[in-house]
Homo-oligomer: A and B are copies of this chain.
């Protein structure tokens, strides 16, 4: 939306806006049922007063092109005047409504939208702050890259050979013994889950997970018809799994090291127990290990390191440590599975960015990656301590939390069940964005995922002050 009305025009600003919106609708760019941006947003985009926008919208409502829905906003109308125009347009909204893939939850759409704005304090973001990204170093490393012409062509199905070799070397330190043919390069961990969903599971398969799970906030499995099932990891685990699985196909999704969003770290024994329980019922495990480098203390080996039967699909990534913008992760598993998923990746996007792969290779091989992580961990630890100090000062009487063991998050639990969409919206009105617990567990009304990784120190203080005030008012 880079159009702005012209001040020197013979038409008034209001007229110009009316014409522009009308044309937009006639062209089929905004179809019937489209929600318009808020008046405030439009005013900003057009570079005019809010009252000018308001008058233009009133005029359009009067002619029936737009309609207001109380408490929800202004929409392109479904009226007869408009349907005259749209008789020749495809019914885009119907297409969207009946299509296969679920939309993101509204809260998550709002999060994705508001995360783009510079005037918002992001208290929940699962991403390193710009100041923690080694931007200058990545820029410098671009100058050191020497590209082979072949690297700029289409990739081999499993990704760059050299990068896969480097990843095998890298995961050795985690006790994982893999060969390059056990590795598929993916565009981030989420794509690995997507490939598993369509490439390994039949419709109606069960995905076991913990009650509170990252998978509830994205839905690679739900969107293709898998059934999610929350599981308590207790002494009866093996039996429970067998009973619930019955004759169906199943996988277990686990984030044993620095769980997203809870921050929980499993002991070696807990990992062993899950592995054995799944092995009994021959249930494959998806081990999501994208946060392990960010543990403040030494990490215990992943489940994959215990895997003597090709049962664990292991996911790693540089998105949480180096740069999400590179979109590089990896999936490690039996050759048979990896070749299958690589075949689907070829049908999906023909491979991941060659340049991104070269950058990650360079960072792994040069030792820059591990050096960067050492300093990153220290900075995250400082941020965690800072947020804890604020929490200690202000939140002791209304919430509980565990001291974070690493990563980005504190899983803040309020004593009262106050975390609902209303709270989310109220904070948004104060330009504070949180990740409410209910996006990870629909039944949860007590938690928020607090991230000390993204906002500045100042923003963290202001954001938490706002959170405290709003919560206090409510309780």
Interface residues of A (CB under 8 A from B): 1-3, 26-31, 33-34, 88-96, 98-101, 103-104, 109, 112-113, 115-116, 127-128, 130-131, 133, 135, 138-139, 142-143, 145-157, 165, 168, 179-182, 187-188, 190-191, 194, 197-203, 218-220, 223-225, 249, 279-280, 282-284, 307-311, 319, 323-327, 334-337, 340, 343-344, 346-356, 359
User: CB distance A145 to B142 under 8 Å?
Assistant: yes
Question: Nearest B residue to A328 by beta-carbon distance?
Answer: B353
Q: CA of A197 to CA of B109 in the docked complex: distance in angstroms?
A: 21
How far does the Cβ of A58 sit from chain B's closest Cβ, in whole Å? 22
Residues of B within 8 Å of A311, CB to CB, are: 28, 88-90
Residues of B within 8 Å of A199, CB to CB, are: 96, 99-101
Q: Which of B2, B104, B150, B152 contacts A347 (CB 8 A)?
A: B104
User: CB distance A30 to B335 under 8 Å?
Assistant: yes
Name 8 A/B residue pairs within 8 A (Cβ), A-sorted: A1-B181, A88-B279, A90-B282, A96-B199, A99-B202, A130-B150, A190-B350, A191-B348
Question: Closest 3 interchain pairs by CB?
Answer: A28-B310, A325-B354, A130-B149
Residues of B within 8 Å of A344, CB to CB, are: 101, 103
User: CB distance B152 to A103 under 8 Å?
Assistant: no
Question: Nearest B residue to A116 by beta-carbon distance?
Answer: B156
A95-B284, A311-B28, A326-B355 given; A103·B343 CB < 8 A: yes
A100-B203, A326-B353, A347-B219 given; A153·B139 CB < 8 A: no
User: CB distance B99 to A200 under 8 Å?
Assistant: yes
Name the residue among A109, A150, A153, A191 with the largest chain B CB count within 10 angstroms.
A153
How far does the Cβ of A195 sit from chain B's closest Cβ, in whole Å? 9
Q: CA of A181 to CA of B99 in the docked complex: distance in angstroms?
A: 22
Question: Nearest B residue to A100 by beta-carbon distance?
Answer: B198
User: CB distance B335 to A353 under 8 Å?
Assistant: no
User: CB distance A353 to B356 under 8 Å?
Assistant: yes
Q: CA of A218 to CA of B349 in the docked complex: distance in angstroms?
A: 11
User: CB distance B350 to A327 under 8 Å?
Assistant: yes
User: CB distance B326 to A354 under 8 Å?
Assistant: yes
Name the residue among A2, A128, A348 with the largest chain B CB count within 10 angstroms.
A348
How far does the Cβ of A47 sit from chain B's closest Cβ, in whole Å? 15
Name the residue among A95, A148, A151, A352 with the largest chain B CB count within 10 angstroms.
A95
Q: Which of B90, B113, B336, B355 contacts A283 (CB 8 A)?
A: B90
Q: CA of A179 to CA of B154 in the docked complex: distance in angstroms?
A: 30
